[in-house]
Amino acid sequence: MDLFVASGFTKQTLNLFLLFVLIIIFCINIPVAEARIQRYKWEVKYEFKSPDCFRKLVITINGRTPGRTIVAEQNDTIIVELKNSLLTENVAIHWHGIRQIGTPWFDGTEGVTQCPILPGQTFTYEFVVDRPGTYLYHAHYGMQREAGLYGSIRVSSKEPEPFTYDFDKTIILNDWYHKSTYEQATGLSAIPFQWVGEPQSLLMNGRGRYNCSLLTGTSTEVASLCNATNPECSPFALTVVPGKTYRLRISSLTALSALSFQIEAHNMTVVEADGHYVEPFVVQNLFIYSGETYSVLIKTDQSPSRNYWTTTNVVSRNATSPPGLAIINYYPNHPSRQPPTIPPPGPLWSDIAPRYNQSQAIKARQGFVIPPPLTADRMIVFLNTQNTVNGQYRWSVNNISLNLPHTPYLISLKNNLHHAFDQTPPPVGYDYKNYNIYNVSANKNATTSSGIYRLQFNSTVDIILQNANTMTENNSETHPWHFHGHDFWVLGYGEGKFDMYNDPKKYNLVNPIMKNTVPVHKYGWTALRFLADNPGAWAFHCHIESHFYMGMGVVFAEGIDRLGRLPSSIMGCVRH
């Protein structure tokens, strides 16, 4: 009897044990295969740096600007423990192009998805990079992005990609000002308005070159401020092996400038835009707007006896900023060896046609087309104008200039804090009939509001970005619009005023590219379609730092009732 009982018990135990082992193996395998976790510890603080040889205060991540590239694989979970070591200043970091499905509270947009992170605090961002592609990260609070707080995210694919390459490299473009963001912001809000002007330099991977001889002062003063031999501003050199194919991930986080990017003697084949495969096309000049990312393939098929210039130039504005210079360093030449040629000039800044053409050339790659819904549930037209509000210069959408509230929308929507923002939704269009987009507006006055657009969950929404004349006669500006939490289909671009009856007939519903950032060209329009399928509150705004600061943005909300409990970590600024 004892033996029987003991034996029975043993068998049962053994079975349970085997089952347990199987479960353990299963559990261990799942995370390895599907949910690799990448953990980063970042310290954010002010340091003196000389990215373009001019010494100024910048915000660094672990001592660097730009911060290190986050290199991940599709479906990885990224955990960033961000310690704010700024003295008196808060911070928030946006993961640009990551849709934050299920984690809208980690989108990093102060005033929209989270309270800012206080000095001394550590905030943990945790999100999944669910799709391969090229993405970015940067501050999304005040104008901190242009203080140097940015970097890129590279997500590799688990599936075979539709193109091959030997090496994968990242080049992040930026423009650079010598004045502090405080000085800039104070000027932008001042009466009379003080414009930030054109940037002093263009940077590639955080390096540029300001001409120190432009500075006045004694030689000692100039030397302490600007040192052309500082290694921090030696040109970025990309060392390449001859005869290979390189994937270059080119992105832009300029504060203001639209750019052209070119590599001397090398064509570029565009294969990716904002995380989506592009039907390949070849360019000599890649036009890129703030917030966009592209992958291009280049072949290192030129004479390996020398190095080649890589240049970037301002387009769309008659800028004073000198071109940015970097070097394609053919191994075994020395990386600092100057190419024997004059750097190739960029395209004519005022020539719109090539930029228009490139925008229209970007289509989804065959075999990777995500077909858009053929019709939309609603259409919203956003007229982009420059205005004044109580004597201040502002940018507006349908004559409303966005004032971000300090209680983030996500929190006030979830917790029904109706007092926290204007409950009147902003207009869904403008006076199409009478507004002349080619003239300075007859009525320059706009109003500020914190009102938002509430979208029905899972509805299909069309957005028409309609450009217009600024407050200066015969002037319109290119605006790169960036959407948080979504990609949109780019259905079309056009010149002049959008024709609601005829232009939709020309939409590309066959193979439109999906993007998260798109330009609206001067005096033109851009038509977008998206699915409101991501519960949360999401900013959609001009990615020019000063324009968003001056109110050029809107906020959408959808599916708030589907959200679970918000993490308390995002609520530091909400009174109890």
Q: Which stretch binds a second copy (CB under 8 A): 43-51, 293-301, 332-340, 550-558?
A: 43-51
Q: Which of 14, 21, 57, 510 binds a second copy (CB under 8 A)?
A: 57
- By beta-carbon proximity to a second copy, the closer residue of 221 and 351 is 221
**Stretch (H or E) spanning 520:** strand 517-520
Q: CA 171 to CA 259: how far, in whole Å?
A: 13
Q: Could you tell me the smallest distance in angstroms from the CB atom of residue 45 to a second copy?
A: 8
The distance of closest approach from Cβ of residue 406 to a second copy in the complex, given in angstroms and rounded to an integer, is 3
Q: Which is nearer to a second copy, 408 or 519 (CB)?
A: 408
Q: Give the whole-angstrom CA distance, residue 234 versus residue 260.
A: 21
Residues 6 or more apart in contact with residue 238 via CB below 8 angstroms: 169, 171, 248, 310, 326, 327, 328, 329
**Nearer Cβ to a second copy (199/408):** 408
CB-based contact 492:508 (threshold 8 Å) = yes
For a second copy, which residue of 164, 213, 218, 229 counts as binding (CB under 8 A)? Answer: 218
Q: By C-beta, is 78 or 570 nearer to a second copy?
A: 570
CA gap 474, 476 in Å, rounded = 7
Omega before residue 408 within 30° of 0, cis: no
Residues 245-284 binding a second copy (CB under 8 A) are none
Alpha carbon distance 537, 559 (integer Å): 9
Distance in Å, CB of 62 to a second copy, minimum: 16
- In whole angstroms, how close is the CB of 90 to a second copy at the nearest point? 6
Of 82-90, 160-168, 251-259, 335-343, the segment contacting a second copy by CB under 8 A is: 82-90
Helix (H) or strand (E) holding 373: none
Question: How many CB atoms are located within 10 Å of the residue 472 CB?
Answer: 10
Give me the least distance between CB of 116 and a second copy, in Å please. Answer: 7
Q: How far apart are CA 105 and CA 576, in angstroms?
A: 19
Beta-strand ranges (E) seen in 243-371 are 245-252, 258-263, 268-273, 276-283, 286-288, 293-299, 308-315, 324-330
Helix, strand or coil for residue 557? strand
Restricted to residues 141-180, the positions that interact with a second copy (CB under 8 A) are 141-144, 180
Per-residue x/- marks for a second copy, 98-127, CB under 8 A?
Answer: -----------------xx-xxxx------
Indicate the residue among 142 and 451 with the shorter CB distance to a second copy: 142
Bridge partners, 84 (sequence order): 44
CA distances from 497 to 254, 263, 494, 525 (A): 28, 36, 8, 7
Residue 30, helix vs strand vs coil? helix
Q: List the x/- string, 429-458, binding to a second copy by CB under 8 A.
A: ------------------------------
Of 68, 158, 337, 406, which one interacts with a second copy (CB under 8 A)?
Answer: 406
Taking the least distance from each CB to a second copy, the nearer of 144 and 516 is: 144
Among residues 50, 54, 80, 89, which is the contact residue for a second copy, using CB under 8 A? 89
Give the distance, in angstroms, between the CA of residue 481 and the centroid of all CA atoms in the same chain. 9
Which of 144, 398 has the CB closer to a second copy? 144
**Distance of closest approach, residue 391 Cβ to a second copy, in angstroms:** 15
Q: Closest CB to a second copy among 218 and 443?
A: 218
Question: Residues 465, 528: contact at Cβ < 8 Å?
Answer: yes
Rank residues 35 and 214 by Cβ distance to a second copy and give the closer one.
Answer: 214
Smallest gap from Cβ 137 to a second copy, in A, equals 17
Any idea which residue has 């242009």 for tokens? 146
- Site size toward a second copy, by CB under 8 A: 39
Nearer to a second copy, 296 or 550 (CB): 550
For the segment 333-392, give every residue that binds a second copy (CB under 8 A).
none
- Give the span between the Cα atoms of 484 and 474, in whole angstroms: 32
Q: Determine contact, residues 38/76, Cβ cutoff 8 Å.
A: yes
* Two tokens, residue 456: 């029905």
Which residues are CB-neighbours of 409 under 8 A, at least 6 positions away? 111, 112, 113, 420, 421, 452, 537, 555, 557
- Six-digit token string for 101: 């499905």
The structure tokens 């294969």 sit at 271
Site string for a second copy, 175-214 (x = CB under 8 A): -----xxxx-xxx--x------------------------
- Binding status of residue 553 toward a second copy by CB under 8 A: no
Q: Which of 90, 103, 262, 312 binds a second copy (CB under 8 A)?
A: 90
Strand ordering across the sheet containing 93-96: 70-73, 150-156, 133-139, 93-96
Q: In the set 40, 46, 281, 457, which binds a second copy (CB under 8 A)?
A: 46
Q: Min. distance of Cβ 481 from a second copy in angstroms?
A: 23
Query: Looking at beta carbons only, is 213 or 305 nearer to a second copy?
Result: 213
Kindly report the number of other CB atoms within 10 A of residue 538's CB atom. 28
Specify the 3-state DSSP secondary structure of 181: helix
Shortest spacing between CB 125 and a second copy, in angstroms? 16
Site string for a second copy, 409-428 (x = CB under 8 A): --------------------
Interacting residues with a second copy (CB under 8 A): 46-48, 57, 87-91, 115-116, 118-121, 141-144, 180-183, 185-187, 190, 216-218, 221, 405-406, 568-569, 572-573, 575-576
